[in-house]
């Protein structure tokens, strides 16, 4: 077929066609489908992660505060269905439990990385299935990671640097300074500068609010300069002036959460939810997920081009691997078969040996038997001879005896007669 | 309710010295509905605006194919639909060109813009379809083309290093032009639609409807609908893909009353009642293309462009493409994760 217009030219329209409703059509479909947004909160116990989430979403998510005696870092995840006007949002909040509490924190980052990878893996598995339902898939990949920095006022902890470095290629990191009502304004400025320079010098890539769209470039650009956001969370409402506001009351004054002069909470909410939620989702899918997928597939031995720069398709590579594997299997099978044949031969030889021995034994026994028999026969014969000889003697003796008796009888008669005489 | 932490608290005392086995990543539980508790405006509904902005920036692709015997007004109709010279007829192709000996596939792309929305529109023409004396299997080149586009997309999708946006050349919509004979569908029509309705969204259209009176039109449409049903041809919008009751009611009305749309196309304008309208001039009057009492062009336009364009793309992507992909992968024994299972099976058999 012929494809004209690789460098497609623009044609003018002579009237209203109506495809300008296309974005609306697309958005309506998404609205019907619902949206997913997954936030991961990483931070030490007691930094106010749960409270901040409650404050951001204007509601009390359930849960009890965690203790400091967790043996290892775990992740606690909860999903909520939020509704605002016609938007249905499936919000998943994952929090670390026990992060930073252990004496030895070398492995602390591992459960977090594993969790993030597990979500990518689940998506990859679904994508690679033959029968798949991607458009109905509940996306659990983490779209934003809020990293809670303790308000020490000095610098980042080494645990923070190590963890963020491990996470920056896997998730969009937004660093925030927690419980920032503990720091004064001047200290805060110094703290932010220190944190930013430490992140840069350690090569940690945090999420940059996008500045390519003119409508949001300005606000995003300004916000990028305010990172990390210094936040305060509170679900308590206090009457200030004649309005109810979220605030924290101290003897020396009241800190208003939504007052931009007091903290950056409003900025965080604006950036995270009202301006860049969609971009966070897109970056997760097109950058972090693609990187994971590429690494995973390369790890499994697949590649796109071979040394001769002929493009391999995944299928061909798979076919080649499969044949290779089958070949190996066949070799193994051959080897096993050879061994089996060998064993059989050996056994056969053994058996033949045994058979031969048996035959010899049998022959020997037979001969023995025959010898015995002969001996017995000889003995029998001699015995018979003896018996015959005895019989003869017997008859002879009997004859003699009967003769003698006769003679004797007559003799006795004679003797008697003589006696009588 | 917590999962891991509570249980392990009890074990913590015992297992302080013994390193605990690494726990499997926690899976999000069933979602809790929170609605009445919202105490104030959060701003999550802004995601609609965010999404709209992003899509306007990236722009849209739309690929429409026209199939039908030559002379049924396919090119004119496409030009009328998009109010511009986007078809083959207008892009330097000679009208008096000979009818090709076999079915050819000609795809032409243009960029059109309206209200800030940029669209790359590709019109795929199929000259030669149904024009031979022996038309056996003339749908095959068309089916082949459609499958080739799926294959192209699949190849891109399966790459290790993928493009950010995979170019979409898949056919989203196929307008099938029915000749206005007034009797019934031709065997060729049935054969084509039977084969192709399984791989692409087909929208049957009665061409040159100005040759029929209102009664003839309505009777013809009924007969066509009946024949399509008898032959088991599922045209777009397909019944099985209605997502909810709202969709079903809306689509039922379209399927059972409006379709197939009886259309007239024209790129000429005339003055009617002081207005300039697109139409066809005849000795007995001017047929206004966009007048619903004259023909159903406006219905077709609204249906394809103003309400269901995104849906056409989604059905193509989520259903037709997935069907093709599944079949393709099954023929080849499946991709990586599937092979791990088969490898294990092999080992255990030994």
In total, chain A counts a number of residues equal to 421
What is the per-residue pLDDT for A116?
A: 94
Task: Report whether pLDDT(B160) > 70.
Answer: yes
Which residue of chain B has the CA closest to A135? B318
pLDDT tens sequence across B250-302: 888 888 888 899 998 888 888 888 888 888 888 888 888 888 888 899 999 99
Over residues B206-221, mean pLDDT: 89
Residue B268 phi, psi dihedral angles, 5° rounding = -105, 145
Domain residue limits at B118? 62-88+99-331
From residue B331, how far is each of A42, A319, B196, B324, B335 by CA, in Å?
Answer: 45, 12, 21, 11, 11
B88 pLDDT band, cuts 50/70/90, is low
In a domain, B347, yes or no: no
Give the CA dihedral A372, A376, A377, A379, nearest 10 degrees.
140
Between chains, do B32 and A111 touch, taking CB under 8 Å as contact? no
What is the per-residue pLDDT for B25?
A: 44
**In a shared domain, residues A53 and A188:** yes
Kindly report the CATH number assigned to the domain that includes residue B115: 3.40.50.300
Which residue of chain A has the CA closest to B85? A11
**In a shared domain, residues A348 and A279:** no
Q: Does the ipTM exceed 0.85?
A: no
3-state secondary structure of A92: strand
What is the per-residue pLDDT for A175?
A: 94
Task: Report whether pLDDT(B151) > 50.
Answer: yes
B256 in contact with A at a CB cutoff of 8 Å? no
- Name the residue among A264, A283, A270 with its Cα closest to residue A212: A283
In a domain, B131, yes or no: yes
**In a shared domain, residues A338 and A221:** no
Q: What is the mean pLDDT of chain B?
A: 80
In a domain, A230, yes or no: yes
Structure tokens that stand for B254 in this block: 């379209």
Over residues B305-310, mean pLDDT: 92
Which residue of chain A has the CA closest to B114? A20
In a domain, A409, yes or no: no
B90 pLDDT band, cuts 50/70/90, is low
Which parts of chain A register pLDDT below 70? 1-7, 63, 303-318, 321, 408-412, 414-415, 417, 420-421
CA distance B13 to chain A (A): 9
In a domain, B348, yes or no: no
**In a shared domain, residues A344 and A240:** no
Question: For chain B, how many structural domains are there in total?
Answer: 1
Between chains, do B114 and A58 touch, taking CB under 8 Å as contact? no
Distance CA A71, CA A82 (A): 33
Between chains, do A273 and B44 touch, taking CB under 8 Å as contact? yes
pTM above 0.80, yes or no: no
Q: Which residues contact B108 (CB under 8 A, 6 or more apart)?
A: A3, A4, A5, B86, B87, B88, B91, B122, B123, B124, B125
Kindly report the CATH number assigned to the domain that includes residue A112: 3.40.50.300
Between chains, do B44 and A84 touch, taking CB under 8 Å as contact? yes
**In a shared domain, residues A42 and A137:** yes
Question: For chain A, how many structural domains are there in total?
Answer: 2
B83 in contact with A at a CB cutoff of 8 Å? yes
In a domain, A338, yes or no: yes
Phi-psi region of B176 (alpha: psi -120 to 50; beta: other; left: phi over 0): beta
Which residue of chain A has the CA closest to B45? A87
Between chains, do A25 and B54 touch, taking CB under 8 Å as contact? no
B102 pLDDT band, cuts 50/70/90, is confident
Q: From A272, A300, A328, give the residue that closes a domain.
A: A300
What is the per-residue pLDDT for A318?
A: 66
**In a shared domain, residues A66 and A131:** yes
What is the per-residue pLDDT for B67?
A: 93
In a domain, B141, yes or no: yes
Domain residue limits at A360? 320-394
In a domain, A311, yes or no: no
In a domain, A403, yes or no: no
What is the per-residue pLDDT for B322?
A: 93
């Amino acid at each position: 077929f012929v494809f004209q217009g690789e460098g497609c030219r623009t044609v003018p329209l002579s009237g209203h066609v109506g495809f300008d409703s296309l974005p609306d059509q697309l958005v309506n479909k998404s609205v019907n489908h619902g949206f997913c947004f997954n936030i991961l909160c990483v931070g030490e116990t007691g930094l106010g992660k749960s409270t901040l989430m409650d404050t951001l979403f204007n509601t009390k998510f359930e849960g009890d505060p965690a203790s400091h005696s967790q043996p290892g870092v775990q992740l606690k995840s909860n999903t909520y269905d939020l509704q605002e006007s016609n938007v249905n949002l499936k919000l998943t909040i994952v929090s670390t439990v026990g992060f930073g509490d252990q004496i030895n924190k070398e492995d602390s980052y591992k459960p977090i990385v594993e969790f993030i990878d597990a979500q990518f893996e689940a998506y990859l598995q679904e994508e690679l299935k033959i029968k798949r339902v991607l458009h109905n898939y509940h996306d659990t990949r983490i779209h934003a990671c809020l990293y809670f920095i303790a308000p020490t006022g000095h610098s980042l902890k080494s645990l923070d640097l190590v963890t963020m470095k491990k996470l920056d290629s896997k998730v969009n990191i937004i660093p925030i300074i927690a419980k920032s009502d503990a720091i004064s304004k001047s200290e805060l400025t110094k703290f932010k500068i220190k944190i930013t320079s430490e992140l840069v010098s350690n090569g940690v890539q945090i999420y940059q609010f996008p500045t390519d769209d003119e409508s949001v470039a300005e606000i995003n650009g300004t916000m990028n300069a305010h990172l990390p956001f210094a936040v305060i969370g509170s679900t308590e409402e206090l009457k200030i002036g004649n309005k109810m506001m979220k605030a924290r009351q101290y003897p020396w004054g009241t800190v208003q959460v939504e007052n931009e002069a007091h903290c950056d909470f409003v900025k965080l909410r604006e950036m995270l939810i009202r301006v860049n939620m969609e971009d966070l989702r897109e970056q997760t899918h097109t950058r972090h997920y693609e990187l994971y997928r590429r690494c995973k597939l390369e790890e499994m031995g697949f590649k796109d081009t071979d040394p001769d720069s002929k493009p391999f398709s995944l299928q061909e590579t798979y076919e080649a691997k499969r044949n290779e594997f089958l070949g190996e299997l066949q070799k193994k099978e051959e080897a096993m078969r050879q061994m089996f044949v060998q064993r059989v031969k050996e056994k056969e030889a053994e058996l033949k040996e045994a058979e031969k021995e048996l035959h010899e034994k049998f022959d020997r026994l037979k001969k023995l038997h025959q010898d015995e028999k002969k001996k017995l026969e000889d003995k029998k014969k001699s015995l018979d001879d003896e018996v015959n000889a005895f019989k003869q003697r017997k008859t002879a003796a009997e004859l003699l005896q009967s003769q003698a008796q006769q003679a004797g009888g007559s003799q006795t008669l004679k003797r008697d007669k003589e006696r009588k005489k | 309710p917590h999962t891991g932490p509570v249980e392990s608290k009890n074990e913590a005392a015992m297992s302080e010295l013994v390193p605990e086995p690494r726990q499997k990543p926690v899976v999000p539980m069933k979602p809790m509905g929170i609605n009445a508790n919202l105490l104030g405006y959060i701003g999550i509904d802004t995601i609609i605006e965010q999404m709209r902005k992003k899509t306007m920036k990236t722009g849209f692709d739309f690929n429409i194919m026209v199939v039908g015997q030559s002379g049924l007004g396919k090119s004119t109709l496409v030009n009328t639909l998009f109010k511009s010279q986007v078809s083959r007829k207008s892009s330097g192709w000679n009208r008096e060109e000979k009818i090709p000996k076999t079915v050819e596939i000609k795809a032409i792309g243009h960029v059109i813009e309206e209200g800030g929305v940029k669209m790359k529109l590709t019109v795929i023409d199929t000259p030669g379809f149904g024009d031979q004396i022996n038309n056996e299997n003339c749908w095959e080149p068309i089916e082949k083309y459609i499958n080739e586009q799926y294959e192209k997309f699949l190849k891109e999708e399966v790459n290790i290093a993928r493009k950010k946006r995979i170019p979409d050349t898949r056919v989203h919509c196929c307008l099938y032009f029915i000749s206005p004979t007034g009797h019934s569908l031709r065997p060729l029509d049935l054969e084509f639609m039977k084969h192709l309705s399984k791989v692409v969204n087909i929208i049957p259209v009665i061409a040159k409807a100005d040759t029929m009176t209102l009664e003839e039109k309505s009777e013809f449409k009924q007969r066509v609908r009946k024949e399509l049903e008898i032959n088991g041809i599922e045209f777009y919008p397909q019944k099985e893909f209605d997502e909810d009751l709202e969709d079903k009611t809306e689509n039922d009305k379209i399927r059972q009353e409006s379709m197939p749309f009886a259309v007239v196309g024209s790129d000429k304008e005339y003055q009617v009642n002081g207005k300039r309208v697109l139409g066809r001039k005849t000795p007995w009057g001017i047929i206004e293309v966009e007048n619903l009492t004259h023909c159903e062009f406006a219905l077709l336009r609204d249906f394809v462009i103003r309400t269901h364009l995104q849906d056409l793309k989604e059905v193509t992507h989520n259903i037709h493409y997935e069907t093709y992909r599944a079949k393709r992968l099954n023929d080849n024994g499946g991709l990586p994760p599937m092979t791990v299972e088969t490898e294990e099976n092999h080992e255990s058999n030994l």
